[in-house]
Amino acid sequence: MKSVYIHIPFCDNICSYCDFNKFYYNQNLVDEYLNSLKNEIKTFYTGELINTIYIGGGTPSSLTIKQLEKLFNIINIFNKSDDFEFTIECNPENMNVEKINLLKENNVNRVSIGVQSFNKNILKLLNRKHSKNQVIELINNLNDIGINNINIDMMFGINIENIKTLDEDLDIISKLNIKHISYYSLILEENTMLYINKYIEQDEDTNFKHYEYICNKLKELGYNHYEISNFSKKGYKSKHNLTYWNNNEYYGFGCGAHGFINNIRYENTRSLTKYINKEYKLNSEEMTKKINMENEIMLGLRKLSGINKNDFYKKYNIDIYEIFSIKKYINNKTMIDDGNNVYINPKYIYVSNEILVGLLESSE
């Protein structure tokens, strides 16, 4: 079984921090885009059973009812497993009961809401256009209509936040029926409004303190911290994202999408004009065994459970200890081997990049 990511690059509004492939919504362009998307899927999808579908963006919920219906008709091309996970991203300001009912009718069973914060000053800095009440109303409507597997994307590491603002956000979260939370640190990217406006980043010590505070509070609220930035109630881990972290293959369709199929990693064009003209691929590269093992380390050690040693051996026919200097990190207690899995000591998960760099250098 494989997974599918579909990119919808259109937005009603451009957030100040966003570096994803996106364009302002234009009805005619969306219609042309969906036609090209259908052609891309028909051209490259070879009929495998699909376990997860994730529609991201951009803002998929910026599409009209008619355009969403067209998108769901395209998705009927896929051969889906009986228990497949079907996620769509949305923003609170362009969702309504009619759209939620449409999602339900088309077997969407997981919704990821771009929230970032409930604080109006932080929302203004991030150029988000929703309010706290819109988020709460959307979550209540989703639950009422029967889509109960809800993720919210949250953000920390913002230079005007403090423990009080974090606490207020977490208090609101505690009162809502949310199964999954992704809590990302703000990363300043070039070509974003924050960068252009010379935004000053939060200092690293404060960032770490806030990360620890969030992790501890979410644990108290019954969330399992299973990946660096992801927390779930029991039974609600993101199956789709686990495809990435387990270094498994997946299709990527749409402008700017990435995929990993038949041992080839590829990237689609970020040019909307080229994509609509059916010039899909920007580049592709066949993975060597060495690169696949390095990707396994980079992705797998994002999970707090780490990498299963037997699974690694079955995949690559070699002991993980023979390739990477894991023993060094076990000895200095930044990594743990519990007999089955090797993983980063939870005390050091925040600085996991330093460990990953060291491990990758050791394989050269």
What is the set of domains in the chain, with CATH numbers?
2-243 (3.20.20.70), 289-364 (1.10.10)
| Residue type for position 38 | K
CA 178/CA 282 separation, integer angstroms: 37
pLDDT at 364: 59
Per-residue confidence in pLDDT tens, the chain, 364 aa: 899 999 999 999 889 999 888 898 999 999 999 999 999 999 999 999 999 999 999 999 999 999 999 999 999 999 999 999 999 999 999 999 999 999 999 999 999 999 999 999 999 999 999 999 999 999 999 999 999 999 999 999 999 999 999 999 999 999 998 999 999 999 999 989 999 999 999 999 999 999 999 999 999 999 999 999 999 999 999 999 999 999 999 999 999 999 999 999 999 999 999 999 999 999 999 999 999 999 999 999 999 999 999 999 999 999 999 999 999 999 999 999 999 999 999 999 988 989 999 999 877 5
Q: Give the Cβ contact number of residue 189 at 10 Å.
A: 12
CA 313/CA 310 separation, integer angstroms: 5
Residue 47 CB burial class (10 angstroms; 0-12, 13-18, ≥19) = exposed
Query: In Å, what is the CA distance from 25 to each residue of 60, 104, 192?
Result: 10, 24, 18
Residue length of the chain: 364
Do residues 6 and 55 make contact, with C-beta atoms less than 8 angstroms apart? yes
CA 232/CA 180 separation, integer angstroms: 4
Do residues 32 and 19 make contact, with C-beta atoms less than 8 angstroms apart? no
Largest CA distance in the chain: 60
CA 13/CA 25 separation, integer angstroms: 8
Closest CA to 298 of 274, 280, 318, 324: 324
Decide: pTM greater than 0.85: yes
* 3-state secondary structure labels for all residues of 123-189: HHHCCCCCCHHHHHHHHHHHHHHCCCEEEEEEEECCCCCCHHHHHHHHHHHHCCCCCEEEEEECCCC
Q: Does an H or E element contain 314, and which?
A: helix 309-316
Do residues 334 and 350 make contact, with C-beta atoms less than 8 angstroms apart? no
Do residues 231 and 244 make contact, with C-beta atoms less than 8 angstroms apart? no
CA 258/CA 347 separation, integer angstroms: 32
CA 130/CA 61 separation, integer angstroms: 13
CA atoms within 13 A on the CB side of 354: 8
Contacts of 261 (CB under 8 A, 6+ apart): 2, 44, 249, 250, 251
Residue 95: alpha-carbon gap to chain centroid = 20
> 56 phi and psi, to 5 degrees?
-120, -175
pLDDT at 362: 74
CA atoms within 13 A on the CB side of 320: 28
CA 213/CA 206 separation, integer angstroms: 10
Contacts of 350 (CB under 8 A, 6+ apart): 208, 211, 212, 228
Do residues 181 and 173 make contact, with C-beta atoms less than 8 angstroms apart? yes
